[in-house]
Amino acid sequence: MQRDESLFNMIPKDLKLIGIVRSVNTPKRELRLKTDLSIDEVDAIIPSGHVDKVWISISGALDVKQCLVEQAENVNGELLLRLSPGISRDLVGRMRKCNVYFKDSPTVDNDWRPKSVKNYLGMVVHQSNGSLLGVVVEVLESPAHPVLVIELENTNRLLLPCVSEVLLGVDFQKRTLNVVNDLTPYAVFE
């Protein structure tokens, strides 16, 4: 697998190359990746059967898109990724021969999916600028996505959707959750 090293040097340093998109199934939003990683390395990326986010270099390193992954499988040494419905089929069609990356971070888990959000109870929530927002006191289930109920310092409550546009990362060791600075388009105050 060859890549243009000059373009790769422009990719953020915390992203690690998974592979190159060999083929796409546009209607299913599926990408089949050719990878130089061993089966063990691929399994380490997707230990529970999926990854949460990947970054795809659409037209060189200057246009890197973050995509949510609905499902991932190791199929005979190739990685099959099914992207979430929020990704347009048009965009999926343009991903053939693109580089795909994941964030290689041992202590921060970007897993905001419903299987793990119950673990967010009691976590301290910070905005990306470092300011304290509050503490997660409840997780509500909804058909679209879970909703975090955050108790603010003034005892008001904030409802925040558990989606990738809002949640930037989770540190389970420190029991902290990082969210975007501008919550206006996403938050509902009780």
**CATH classification number, 117-189, choose in 2.30.30.240, 3.40.50.720, 1.10.3720.10, 3.90.550.10:** 2.30.30.240
Question: Could you report the per-residue pLDDT of 104-115, keeping only the tens digit for each?
Answer: 654 344 444 434
Which residues of the chain are in CATH 2.40.30.60 domains?
A: 5-103
pLDDT: which is higher, 49 or 72 = 72
Q: Which of 20-29, 69-78, 83-92 has the lowest mean pLDDT?
A: 69-78
pLDDT of res. 2: 44
Q: How many CB atoms lie within 10 A of CB 152?
A: 15
pLDDT: which is higher, 172 or 127 = 127
* DSSP secondary structure letters along 141-177: --SS--EEEEEETTS-EEEEE-STTTEEEEETTTTEE
Which residues of the chain are in CATH 2.30.30.240 domains?
A: 117-189
pLDDT band at 116 (very low <50, low <70, confident <90, very high): low
pLDDT band at 117 (very low <50, low <70, confident <90, very high): low
CA–CA distances in Å: residue 118 to residues 47, 51, 66, 67, 136? 19, 18, 25, 23, 10
pLDDT band at 45 (very low <50, low <70, confident <90, very high): low
Whether 41 has a pLDDT exceeding 60, the answer reads: yes
Question: Could you report the per-residue pLDDT of 53-79, keeping only the tens digit for each?
Answer: 777 877 554 567 778 777 777 777 688
* DSSP secondary structure letters along 56-86: EESSSTTSEEEEEEEEEEEETTEEEEEE-TT
pLDDT band at 25 (very low <50, low <70, confident <90, very high): very high
pLDDT of res. 150: 94
pLDDT of res. 46: 59
Q: What is the mean pLDDT of the chain?
A: 76
Please tell us whether the domain made up of 5-103 is placed in CATH 2.40.30.60.
Answer: yes
In whole angstroms, what is the distance from residue 126 CA to residue 103 CA?
20
Please tell me the pTM assigned to this model: 0.49
Whether 20 has a pLDDT exceeding 70, the answer reads: yes
pLDDT of res. 50: 41
Tell me the percentage of the chain whose pLDDT exceeds 90.
15
